[in-house]
Amino acid sequence: MDKTTKPLVSAIGSKPGIYVNGIVISNDARKVNLKDGTTRVSVKHELALDPGLISLDRFIDPKMNNEVKLVGEEIKEYPKLTKFEPIIVRVQKIKEYNGQMTASDWELASN
């Protein structure tokens, strides 16, 4: 009766990085024109921490990724996190500028 069981979800902390637990308070997206003429969409999520705030940033190419829909100058659709829901994210890079923490390399660790 020797059965091998696999976990349904990978354990939190199994990957290296900084794990941040917070509550989503805002989602925002802006169009960014680069110097070479290409266009990116900057998607920003803000998490409330205890104490403080962290901003999670991503730059998405609308031509390569279908998560973002850009019609002319207007962003019609972009990935959003559910507001006021507690989440855990795994962060690789955090920087602080003028007292504001920003993470640019991150992924969801829980839903």
For the chain, domain boundaries: 18-108
Provide the pLDDT for residue 15: 78
Q: How many other CB atoms are there within 10 angstroms of residue 41's CB atom?
A: 21
Provide the pLDDT for residue 12: 62
Provide the pLDDT for residue 10: 57
Provide the pLDDT for residue 8: 45
Provide the pLDDT for residue 5: 53
Kindly indicate whether the domain formed by 18-108 is annotated with CATH number 2.30.180.10: no
pTM tops 0.85, yes or no? no
Q: How far apart are CA 91 and CA 5, in angstroms?
A: 29
Write out residues in the chain with pLDDT < 70, as ranges.
1-13, 110-111
Provide the pLDDT for residue 42: 92
Provide the pLDDT for residue 4: 57
